[in-house]
Amino acid sequence: MILLLALASMRLVSAPVAGSAGEKNKGQGAVSGVQAEPAVPSSLSYLDAAILGLVEGATEYLPVSSTGHLLLAESILGLAHDPASKKAANAYAIVIQAGAILAVLGLYRTRVRQIFLGLLGRDGDGRRLAINLVIAFLPAVVAGLLLEDLIKGNLFGLWPVTAAWLVGGVLLLVLDRKIPHTHTGLALESFGWRHALGVGLMQCAALWPGVSRSLATIAGGLLMGAGMAAAVEFSFLLGLMTLGAATVYEALKNGNMIIAHFGFAGPLLGFFCAFVSAWISIKWMVGFLQRRGLALFGWYRIVLALVVGGYLLLVS
């Protein structure tokens, strides 16, 4: 929340001088800082692209919902001012996940190498892990394909996200008390197909924007008996498959629309910023969870839900 407020302040301060080509199309001038509504969808300024990339990377693997934070950022930046721009912005937010995916590939390259060796029949643990990841991956794929239109049509808004933030925050606080971070559970090598399926079914809850894929999968791992380190690592590795598939699907389906609205440079900048912020966020999160547990993220979600919900009530 602090990150969003700080970046939004940067955006507001620099908007008059750092406008994009699309902002110029709104009209060359602005009276008293108030700009006219655009007649056509605007392009993405470099500052907007950087903000969205930073928000995506910083929140993708934290149990706070990157989708929810991106929707909030888009609203603050005024990027979703009409249906066409909103659709393009939502697609853009999914595509720049590739930066966060690349960060996980770099940080967990040893485990990823083990998985590839397992697929080649040269590492038994790697093969078992690969099978478990596929099992955990499939439920969300099926549910996502069946419910895609329903979700995008009804749940990509600040009220549904705010409700998910609140419920997820309470869940994290309960889970932190029920299963302390000091709890010694199953190691990743001890996961069976039932454990993987349980995590995969939990991941389906994250199709509701604001729930957080990381929250659902980490909670699923803990509830299936994993220790904190194993639950977090399995969540990250599963994210490679889930986010990778979503990114490729969205790029193939809406790539032309994203380029038409935002060009090439903006998405590339967003990708880079997402990579850098995800790298930093992951390294911090892994150490923090093993030392302090999930409570901080629970309280953060609850406070954020109350702040955003209160604001929505005031402006409604």
Residue 186 pairs in a beta bridge with 226
pTM greater than the 0.75 cutoff? yes
User: Residue 233 has what pLDDT?
Assistant: 95
- The torsion angles phi and psi of 19, rounded to 5 degrees, stand at -70, 155
In Å, what is the CA distance from 96 to each residue of 79, 254, 258, 284, 290? 16, 13, 11, 21, 28
User: Residue 16 has what pLDDT?
Assistant: 30
* Half-sphere exposure in the Cβ direction for 100 (13 Å, CA): 33
User: Residue 1 has what pLDDT?
Assistant: 47
pLDDT means per 10 residues, the chain with 316 residues, are 41 33 39 38 76 95 93 85 75 88 95 96 95 96 92 89 97 92 86 96 95 95 93 95 90 86 87 96 92 94 97 92
User: Residue 31 has what pLDDT?
Assistant: 38
Q: Is 233 exposed, middle or buried (0-12, 13-18, 19+ CB in 10 A)?
A: buried
Angle, helices 83-95 vs 265-292, to 10°: value is 60
Q: What is the CA radius of gyration of the chain?
A: 20
Q: How many CB atoms sit inside 10 A of residue 167's CB?
A: 17
User: Residue 43 has what pLDDT?
Assistant: 59
User: Residue 308 has what pLDDT?
Assistant: 96
